[in-house]
Amino acid sequence: MDQIANPSPGFQRNPGKVITIEPYIGTVTVRAGEAVIASSTRAKLLTESPYPAVFYIPFEDIDFNQLRKTASSTHCPYKGDASYWSVLPAAQAGKDAMW
């Protein structure tokens, strides 16, 4: 990806960095115990070496009643800012589990 195609600061400093985002074929269901947190046939799969692949699920397919926004946030020079959510049915194990 060149600097014109993606002007984010990370790509400007490291134009050889590769991040791919592709539609995921199938259904992604996120559960905490018996509670369904999200279910989507429109998920995207993001791959960025050396990290494990992650799913991005449209907000419309997430049950935000099962989540609580936290004060945590991070910044990626490639993807931007992320805010975090705790998964309520997962108790302490669900703290900052989604971004």
Measuring CA to CA, how many Å separate 14 from each of 9, 47, 48, 52, 59?
A: 9, 17, 13, 20, 30
Query: Does residue 4 fall inside a structural domain?
Result: no
Residue 14, pLDDT score: 84
Query: Does residue 83 fall inside a structural domain?
Result: yes
State the CATH number of the domain containing residue 72: 2.170.150.40
Query: Does residue 2 fall inside a structural domain?
Result: no
The string of pLDDT tens digits covering residues 31-50 is: 999 999 999 999 999 999 99
Residue 19 CA to residue 35 CA, distance in Å, equals 31
Query: What average pLDDT is seen over the chain?
Result: 91
Query: Does residue 1 fall inside a structural domain?
Result: no
Range of the domain at 64: 9-94
Query: Does residue 35 fall inside a structural domain?
Result: yes
User: What is the number of structural domains in the chain?
Assistant: 1
Amino acid at 44: K
Q: Which of the pair, 70 or 14, is modelled with greater confidence?
A: 70
Query: Does residue 18 fall inside a structural domain?
Result: yes
Measuring CA to CA, how many Å separate 52 from each of 19, 46, 66, 92, 96?
A: 12, 9, 25, 23, 18
Residue 60 CA to residue 39 CA, distance in Å, equals 10
Q: 15-19, 68-72, 82-86 — which is least confidently predicted?
A: 15-19
The string of pLDDT tens digits covering residues 6-35 is: 667 787 888 888 899 999 999 999 999 999
Q: Across residues 54-73, what is the average pLDDT? A: 97
Amino acid at 36: V
